[in-house]
Amino acid sequence: MTIPHKIAGLGELLWDIYDDRRHAGGAPANFALHARRCGADALLLSRVGNDQAGRDLKALLARNGVDVSAIQTSPDKPTGSVRVHLGPAGAPRFECSRDTAFDQLECDQVWRTLLPSLDALLYGVLAQREETSRNAIRACLHHADKALLLFDLNLRGWNDSTRDIVLNSLSMCDIVKMNETELAILQQALDAGKMDRQDFLLSLLHSYNIKMAAVTLGSRGCWLLTPDQNLHHPGFRVRAVDTTGCGDAFAAGLIWSILNKASLEEMAEFANRLGAFVATRQGAMPEWSQDDLAALGEA
Ligand code: ADP
In the chain, domain spans:
6-294
> Does the structure show a pLDDT above 60 at 278?
yes
Over the stretch 253-269, which tens digit does the pLDDT of each residue have?
A: 999 999 999 999 999 99
Report d(CA 289, CA 283) in Å as an integer: 16
Over the stretch 123-180, which tens digit does the pLDDT of each residue have?
A: 999 999 999 999 999 999 999 999 999 999 998 888 888 999 999 999 999 999 999 9
Q: Tell the residue nearest (CA) to atom 20 of ligand 1.
A: 218
Which range has the worst mean pLDDT, 27-41, 48-62, 86-100, 223-237?
86-100
> Bridge-partner residues for 225, per DSSP?
213, 230
Report d(CA 224, CA 234) in Å as an integer: 11
Please state, in angstroms and as integers, the Cα–Cα distance from residue 257 to each residue in 85, 154, 183, 261, 292, following that order.
32, 21, 23, 6, 18
The pTM of the full predicted model, rounded to 2 decimals, is 0.96
Q: Tell the residue nearest (CA) to atom 11 of ligand 1.
A: 275
> Does the structure show a pLDDT above 80 at 298?
no
Per DSSP, the residues of 245-292 read THHHHHHHHHHHHHHTT--HHHHHHHHHHHHHHHHTSSSS-----HHH
In the reported structure, the alpha carbon of residue 145 is separated from the centroid of ligand 1 by a whole-number distance in angstroms of 30
pLDDT at residue number 193? 93
Q: Which fold has domain 6-294?
A: UDP-N-acetylmuramoyl-L-alanine:D-glutamate ligase (3.40.1190)
Cβ density class 44-71: b for 16+ within 10 Å, e for less: bbbbbbeeebbeebbebbeebebbbebb
* Mean pLDDT of the region 47-53: 98
Best mutation site among 222, 250, 269, 273 for ligand 1, i.e. most ligand atoms within 8 A of its Cβ? 250
Mean per-residue pLDDT over the chain, rounded: 95
Does the CB atom of residue 32 touch ligand 1 within 6 A? no
Report d(CA 184, CA 176) in Å as an integer: 14
Best mutation site among 246, 267, 298 for ligand 1, i.e. most ligand atoms within 8 A of its Cβ? 246
Identify the band that residue 88 occupies on the pLDDT scale cut at 50, 70 and 90.
Answer: confident
Does the CB atom of residue 140 touch ligand 1 within 6 A? no
Q: Is 227:175 a contact under the CB 8 Å cutoff?
A: no
> Does the structure show a pLDDT above 90 at 87?
no
* Mean pLDDT of the region 83-97: 81
Cα dihedral 196, 197, 198, 204 sign: positive
**Number of C-beta neighbours around residue 5 at 10 A:** 20
Identify the band that residue 283 occupies on the pLDDT scale cut at 50, 70 and 90.
Answer: confident
Cβ density class 254-292: b for 16+ within 10 Å, e for less: bbbbbbeebebeebbbbbbbbbbbbbbbebbbbebeeee
Report d(CA 10, CA 150) in Å as an integer: 10
* Mean pLDDT of the region 33-41: 98
Ligand 1 atom at minimum distance from 273 CA: 16
> Does the structure show a pLDDT above 60 at 68?
yes
**Number of C-beta neighbours around residue 294 at 10 A:** 8
pLDDT at residue number 30? 97
Identify the band that residue 190 occupies on the pLDDT scale cut at 50, 70 and 90.
Answer: very high
In the reported structure, the alpha carbon of residue 258 is separated from the centroid of ligand 1 by a whole-number distance in angstroms of 19
Report d(CA 198, CA 191) in Å as an integer: 15
pLDDT at residue number 263? 97
Ligand 1 atom at minimum distance from 240 CA: 23
In the reported structure, the alpha carbon of residue 295 is separated from the centroid of ligand 1 by a whole-number distance in angstroms of 17
- Of the candidates 103, 80, 89, 73, the residue with the CA atom closest to the CA atom of residue 22: 80
Ligand 1 atom at minimum distance from 235 CA: 16
Q: Tell the residue nearest (CA) to atom 22 of ligand 1.
A: 219
Does the CB atom of residue 216 touch ligand 1 within 6 A? yes
> Does the structure show a pLDDT above 80 at 91?
no
Does the CB atom of residue 238 touch ligand 1 within 6 A? yes
Does the CB atom of residue 46 touch ligand 1 within 6 A? no
Q: Phi and psi (nearest 5°) for 25?
A: -160, -160
Report d(CA 35, CA 179) in Å as an integer: 20
Ligand 1 atom at minimum distance from 245 CA: 2
Does residue 195 sit in helix, strand or coil? coil
For 22, the enclosing helix (H) or strand (E) is strand 22-25
pLDDT at residue number 299? 57
Q: Tell the residue nearest (CA) to atom 2 of ligand 1.
A: 247
pLDDT at residue number 171? 98
> Does the structure show a pLDDT above 80 at 192?
yes
Over the stretch 220-240, which tens digit does the pLDDT of each residue have?
A: 999 999 999 999 999 999 999
Over the stretch 95-127, which tens digit does the pLDDT of each residue have?
A: 899 999 999 999 999 999 999 999 999 999 999
